[in-house]
């Protein structure tokens, strides 16, 4: 009997987290639907990842906060859902803080979640507290703490503003394309400070704001950055926050995007984290087809944690995003290829660094998940001076919208004639960090198991490879 159980356990662990398309070094829930990361907070040696979760199925619905913890942002332990839908009120997105001064009176170092309570006719801001490091939460009995009697009013993100000794909340009026700022001394009574917007990209509803200070590379300076998700991409504004207003210094009408791919949304940063730079996590999916992606028994992936900084460019401060360094500990076998060598590496779970001189004309780049006529095509177009990811030659049979949304592109400047791509491919998602994080492209892709080849190419002339290193990656599951 015991032997049988051991064999069953072994078979179970072989299969779970090794299903078709299952990412191996990105976070996914054990089963069921997930969307936005919520309440990212560090406390007592642990990074908490709460997330929009459906405890009952693999489609959006019954939104609650799922919960996982990690000591290193690589390996995660799943915990039971932290805050659950109750009496028809769903738990929408929000943030969490550690109340080290007991400002709310729930206890010193209480973990407090600030979230939107959602029904079909009303969205309000609410709080829940935990005095056992996030294991269980109590909803505050006098909820809601902020009610404008509006149908759309959501995604509160709260941080401590030391200068005024106040909590600041950024919260979204989605249809007005406005973020409103509030302040509070106890997380229960909130006073409006100002509104920001509409400006920049107002093509979709505004959701999931996050206001934070980001260091400027090569200086001791920090600037305030406001991140906004607008269905289904993200934008950011750089400027100052004076305790009342956010003052945008972007050189408009330029729209600054956090990710130029098709599947990056609702990213927020860790609160009270030990890192010098903000660390963000985003949801790697797109509302236009999110419910139809062909993964089971889970849906939804979290991005690799990204470390943020700013760089001054000609007209604007530009966001620099780098995958956290400890990802390198997941590297196993290493493959180096020289100019002209055939790439014999096969696989769909790897990290790659490619430095190359693109051909002077036409398209040049790399194809991943190659087999017969199928491939994910990542290239630089020298005629248009853009970088492009094209997934039109990959499996899209599960959704017409996914099939139509098959290309992402953005202008790119070469550095001394070169391009540098840092690629993380993880079964059904790819994140490409360009020129040390000046741009990032994230897209989902659903290749078959045998579509595992890699090829570099140029349509006209020659691509010159300066460096191509590929590492197989360990699974964190």
- Would you name the residues annotated as active-site residues? 36
99 contributes a contact to ligand FRU by CB under 6 A? no
- For 386: left if phi > 0, alpha if psi spans -120 to 50, otherwise beta; the answer is beta
Q: Cα separation of 157 and 269, whole Å?
A: 10
Using rule CB under 6 A, residue 116 touches ligand FRU: yes
Decide: is 92 part of the binding site for ligand FRU (CB under 6 A). Answer: yes
Nearer CB in complex with ligand FRU: 231/273: 231
293: its two tokens = 């992606």
Q: Binding residue for ligand FRU (CB under 6 A) from 28, 32, 58, 93?
A: 93
Q: Find the binding residues for ligand FRU in span 199-258 (CB under 6 A).
A: 207-208
Residue 374 Cβ vs ligand FRU, minimum distance, rounded to whole Å: 30
Task: Rule CB under 6 A: say whether 154 interacts with ligand FRU.
Answer: yes
CB closer to ligand FRU out of 287 and 380: 287
286 touches ligand FRU by CB under 6 A: no
State the minimum distance, in angstroms, from the CB of residue 208 to ligand FRU.
6
266 belongs to the binding site for ligand FRU (CB under 6 A): yes
One of 24, 28, 32, 35 touching ligand FRU (CB under 6 A): 35
Q: For ligand FRU, which is the closer residue by CB, 228 or 387?
A: 228
Q: Shortest gap between Cβ of 14 and ligand FRU (angstroms)?
A: 33
Give yes or no for residue 40 binding ligand FRU (CB under 6 A).
no
How many residues form the binding site for ligand FRU (CB under 6 A)?
13
What's the CA angle centered on 398, arms 393 and 403, to 5 degrees? 40
Is the CB of 74 or the CB of 179 nearer to ligand FRU? 179
What mask of x and - would describe binding to ligand FRU in positions 375 to 414, judged by CB under 6 A? ----------------------------------------
Say if strands 64-70 and 206-215 run parallel, antiparallel, or are unpaired.
Answer: unpaired
- Min dist CB 204 to ligand FRU, Å, is 10
| Least distance (Å) between residue 145 CB and ligand FRU | 16
Q: Is 285 in the site for ligand FRU (CB under 6 A)?
A: no
155 near ligand FRU, judged by CB under 6 A: yes
Residues that bind ligand FRU (CB under 6 A): 35-36, 52, 63, 92-93, 116, 154-155, 207-208, 265-266
């Amino acid at each position: 009997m015991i032997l049988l159980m051991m064999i069953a356990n072994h078979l179970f662990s072989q299969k779970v987290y090794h299903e078709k398309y299952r990412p191996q070094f990105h976070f996914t829930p054990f089963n069921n639907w997930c969307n936005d990361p919520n309440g990212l907070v560090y406390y007592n040696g642990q990074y908490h990842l709460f997330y929009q979760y459906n405890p009952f199925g693999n489609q959006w619905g019954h939104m609650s906060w799922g919960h996982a913890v990690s000591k290193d942002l690589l390996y995660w332990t799943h915990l039971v859902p932290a805050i659950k839908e109750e009496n028809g009120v769903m738990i929408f997105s929000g943030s969490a803080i550690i109340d080290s001064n007991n400002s709310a009176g729930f206890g010193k170092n209480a973990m407090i979640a600030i979230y939107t309570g959602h029904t079909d006719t009303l969205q309000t801001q609410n709080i829940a507290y935990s005095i056992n490091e996030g294991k269980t939460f109590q909803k505050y009995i006098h909820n809601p703490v902020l009610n404008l009697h509006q149908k759309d009013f959501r995604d509160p993100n709260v941080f401590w503003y030391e200068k005024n000794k106040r909590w600041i909340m950024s919260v979204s009026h989605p249809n007005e394309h406005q973020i409103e700022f509030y302040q509070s001394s106890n997380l229960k009574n909130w006073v409006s400070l100002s509104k920001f917007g509409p400006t920049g990209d107002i093509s979709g509803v505004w959701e999931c704001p996050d206001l934070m200070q980001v260091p400027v590379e090569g200086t001791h300076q920090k600037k305030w950055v406001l991140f906004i998700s607008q269905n289904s991409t993200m934008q950011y504004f750089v400027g100052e926050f004076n305790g009342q207003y956010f003052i945008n210094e972007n050189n408009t009408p330029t729209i600054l995007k956090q990710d130029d791919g098709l599947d990056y949304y609702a990213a927020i940063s860790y609160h009270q984290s030990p890192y010098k730079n903000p660390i963000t996590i985003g949801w790697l999916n797109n509302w236009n087809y999110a419910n139809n992606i062909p993964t089971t028994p889970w849906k939804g992936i979290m991005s690799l944690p990204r470390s943020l900084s700013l760089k001054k460019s000609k007209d604007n401060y530009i966001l620099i995003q780098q995958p956290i360094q400890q990802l390198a500990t997941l590297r196993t076998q290493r493959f180096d290829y020289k100019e002209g060598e055939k790439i014999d590496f096969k696989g769909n779970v790897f990290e790659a660094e490619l430095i190359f001189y693109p051909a002077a004309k036409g398209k040049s780049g790399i194809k991943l998940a190659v087999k017969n006529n199928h491939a994910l095509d990542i290239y630089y177009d020298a005629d248009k001076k853009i970088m492009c990811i094209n997934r039109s030659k990959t499996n899209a049979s599960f959704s017409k919208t996914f099939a139509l949304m098959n290309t992402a592109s953005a202008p790119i400047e070469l550095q001394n004639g070169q391009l540098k791509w840092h690629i993380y491919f993880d079964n059904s998602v790819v994140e490409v960090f360009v020129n040390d994080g000046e741009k990032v492209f994230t897209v989902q892709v659903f290749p078959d198991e045998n579509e595992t080849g890699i090829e570099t190419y140029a349509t006209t002339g020659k691509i010159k490879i300066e460096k191509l290193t590929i590492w197989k990656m360990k699974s964190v599951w």
